[in-house]
Structure 1
Amino acid sequence: MSKTTPARVLIVTTSTPSYERAGYRTGLWLGELTHFWDVLEKDGHHLTIASVDGGQVPIDPESLSAPVLAMGGTKKRYEDTGFMSILDDTASLDDVASDGWDAVYLTGGHGTMFDFPYNPVLADLLVTTYEAGGIVAAVCHGPAGFVGATGSDGNPLIAGKKVTGFSWPEEKLAGRDKVVPFRLDHALKEEGATYTKALRPMAEKVVRDGTLVTGQNPTSAEGVGKAVAKLLAKSR
């Protein structure tokens, strides 16, 4: 347990269960939630999960395969009925966006590519939190939430910021390059951000620029959690 004062951390998930141009199922990448949750829970912070539409969170079936579940304690969380029941009935983003949060974390999963970009409620949440001195974090496809988020100065929220996110080589390896609605790396660059990626696909990479923290892929979720925990410890 950390000696810091507990922070209020909002974890945002997608509500999109499938692609628009293919029958593949999608949704939240479970490990990107659990790895982050484990780090922040250990420090005693108050964690709340909200999805874009509220209700049950769709889970990407690829994230439930045996090799993936074996990574970083995800299987233990998946077997925990108490934990998984949280995802059965989540608050909607509309219900909690104005509550005031110390940190906001955007989980990934390809579903975010459809309901995170140009989402006015999510954009306002990110801008309000960041401009109030709070922490904004995202992992894998979660940075799609930055697309269309404009600060009070009229510039994109991530303009001039260093970020990362799921890379195009990783998208090709996942076999989703033909069905995603856009290239995430290009979209982040078009927002004015400096995008970088790891030399090797699926290698951990976490980028911190002030109170903005991003991770490239599922293997980076724990690292994002640790970076957020450090920032929270400094601010309490």
Structure 2
Amino acid sequence: MTRTTRRILHVVTNVGHYDEPDHPTGLWLSELTHAWEVFAEHGFEQRIVSPAGGPAPLEPRSLRFPSYDRTARAWRADPERMALLEHTAGPDDVDAADVDAIYFTGGHAVMYDFPDCAGLQRITREVFERGGVVSSVCHGYCGLLNTRLSDGSLLIAGRRMTGFSWREEELARVDGLVPYNAEEAAKERGALYEKALLPFVPHAVVDGRLVTGQNPGSAKATARKVAELL
């Protein structure tokens, strides 16, 4: 029997601070809630995974206006939804055959635990090579930097994509805190990196079954493009 309901796997971080412990970070909540709402409207099944499994801390700055909008407030007010972030699955709990699209959320925390997670790389590779959709928003593209396909090539090499730009890091005044320049890292790996003309403007890029959004305001557009592909 053929499964008709599409299944989305959201990826969130387990990291709660920058290299300096007194500078907290974590999941940028609206990047999850905006996409979750879009996918729910399409009737998709949704699940959350993290590199280590277990709790996903929230980025404090994502709990302030304008990012702290209706969807983010509703999530925080719902104990069942918050429990989803307290008890995320680990990569070994996920069968990639059950995933139609993987969606990497952001927040600066993901720069630490997304890039070298072998379990997430396995899931991403299997989803992509099986004809599924690989997507990310904002810093979520750090989870794609080191993912290789079965032939050894980097997934993002030669593909159009976007993600949080270095200019946006500077304007957010965290360029001195982040562990590396993600935009430059993507370019070094052969990605055809693009960004909007103006910082913080919603911008999403589709290259085949790779869908990426530039910043927090791009989550809905990214999710909609994923839904269209599915």
Query: What is the TM-score of this pair, normalised by structure 2?
Result: 0.95
* 8 A contact 1:97–1:122 mirrored in 2: no
Residue in 1 that maps onto 2:215: 217
Residue in 1 that maps onto 2:166: 168
Deviation at 1:74, TM superposition (A): 2.1
Does 2:113 align with 1:112?
no
Deviation at 1:22, TM superposition (A): 5.4
- For 1:167-201, what per-residue CA distance to the aligned partner results, in whole angstroms no more than 9, with x for missing partners? 01110111110111111111111111100111111
* 8 A contact 1:9–1:101 mirrored in 2: yes
* 8 A contact 1:22–1:179 mirrored in 2: no
Residue in 1 that maps onto 2:43: 44
RMSD between superposed Cα atoms in Å: 1.5
Residue in 2 that maps onto 1:184: 182
CA shift in 2, pair 1:99/1:57, >3 Å: farther
Distance 2:121 2:66 in 1: 34
* 8 A contact 2:146–2:154 mirrored in 1: yes
* 3-state secondary structure, aligned to 1:26: coil
Distance 1:91 1:40 in 2: 19
- For 1:71-110, what per-residue CA distance to the aligned partner results, in whole angstroms no more than 9, with x for missing partners? x632222222222221121111222154531110000011
Query: What is the TM-score of this pair, normalised by structure 1?
Result: 0.92
Distance 2:188 2:92 in 1: 27
List aligned pairs for 1:1-236, cutoff 5 A: 5-21=4-20, 23-70=22-69, 73-96=71-94, 98=96, 100-232=98-230
- For 1:127-173, what per-residue CA distance to the aligned partner results, in whole angstroms no more than 9, with x for missing partners? 11111100000000000011111111221111110000000111011
CA shift in 2, pair 1:73/1:156, >3 Å: same
* 3-state secondary structure, aligned to 2:67: helix
Aligned-partner residue type, residue 198 of structure 1:
A
Aligned-partner residue type, residue 32 of structure 1:
E
Deviation at 1:68, TM superposition (A): 2.1
Distance 2:158 2:197 in 1: 22
* 3-state secondary structure, aligned to 1:73: helix
Aligned-partner residue type, residue 190 of structure 1:
E
Point out where structure 2 has 5 or more consecutive residues left out of the alignment.
none
Distance 2:105 2:141 in 1: 9
Aligned-partner residue type, residue 16 of structure 2:
P
Distance 1:73 1:121 in 2: 29
Deviation at 1:35, TM superposition (A): 0.2
Larger CA deviation: 156-165 vs 144-153: 144-153
* 8 A contact 1:119–1:148 mirrored in 2: no
Distance 2:181 2:208 in 1: 25
Identity of aligned residues (%): 44
Aligned-partner residue type, residue 11 of structure 2:
V
Distance 1:178 1:22 in 2: 14
* 8 A contact 1:14–1:57 mirrored in 2: yes
Distance 2:96 2:127 in 1: 10
Aligned-partner residue type, residue 17 of structure 2:
S
* 8 A contact 2:96–2:127 mirrored in 1: no
How many residues are paired up? 228
